[in-house]
Amino acid sequence: MSLDAIPIHVVPPGEPGLTGNAPPLLRELLEMVRRLLATGEASAIDLSALPLTPADLDWLRDKLGAGEISVTLQANGESTLNETACPGVWWVMHHNEQGAVTSQFIEVAFVPDLVKAHPQDVEIGSGYLELLVSDL
């Protein structure tokens, strides 16, 4: 018997609508983007720490739109880092291995840190390459 065969289902008790908490985030993003341009400082908004309803999130995602780059990361569950229609603003979602969303951010950066390769990792990579070359 699979889980689906149990006749209990989770019925959402009516999605609450917009709370009005999303629009101020756009102003905050604007400040963050200006700071990125002025000082190069990256920043982020933790969406799961804010009282946002699914409707709020949809509204925000809709406003920000979709950009050119979508990065998918397979690291202990899937993560997606999608650039929005505003370059430098990234919508970051982390899932766990079961597919549940574990955290969600809007990141303001030229490239999210997570995408960049760390010098120590690159060093390991260069070692590996050296090995490959020596094998030629």
Partner 1 sequence: MQGPLIDTLARRGVTRRTFLKYCATLASMMALPPTAGRAMAEAMSAARRPSVIWLPFQECTGCTESITRSHSPTIEGMIFDMISLDYQETLMAAAGHQAEEALHTAMKDNAGKYLLIVDGSIPLGQDGAYSCIGGRSNVDILKEAAQGAAAVIAVGSCASFGGIPKANPNPTGAVSVSDLVKDKPIVNIPGCPPIPVVMTGVLAHYLTFGSLPELDDKGRPKSFYGDTIHDRCYRRPFYDQGKFAKTFDDEGARQGWCLFELGCKGPVTHNACATVKWNGGTSWPVESGHGCLGCSEPDFWDGGSFYKALSAPADPLKFAAVAAVVGAGAGVAVSVANRVKKSAAKATHETTTLADLEK
**Interior/surface letters 16-25, b for 16+ CB within 10 angstroms, e for the rest:** eeeeeebeeb
Residue 6 in 3-state DSSP?
Answer: coil
Is position 122 an interface residue for partner 1 (rule: CB under 8 A)? no
- Lay out the sheet containing 101-108: strands in order across: 43-46, 101-108, 89-95, 78-83, 70-74
45 binds partner 1 (CB under 8 A): yes
Could you report how far apart the first and last alpha carbons of the chain are, in Å?
A: 55
49 binds partner 1 (CB under 8 A): yes
In degrees, to the nearest 5, what angle opens at C-alpha 131 toward C-alphas 129 and 132? 65
Q: Which stretch binds partner 1 (CB under 8 A): 20-28, 56-64, 83-91, 111-119?
A: 111-119
114 binds partner 1 (CB under 8 A): yes
Tracing tokens 């933790």 back to the chain, one arrives at 46
Smallest gap from Cβ 109 to partner 1, in A, equals 11
Near partner 1 by CB under 8 A, which window of 17-25, 54-62, 82-90, 99-107?
99-107
Q: Which residues bind partner 1 (CB under 8 A)?
A: 7-14, 16, 43-46, 48-49, 73, 75-76, 79, 94, 96-98, 100, 102-103, 105, 107, 113-114, 118, 120-121
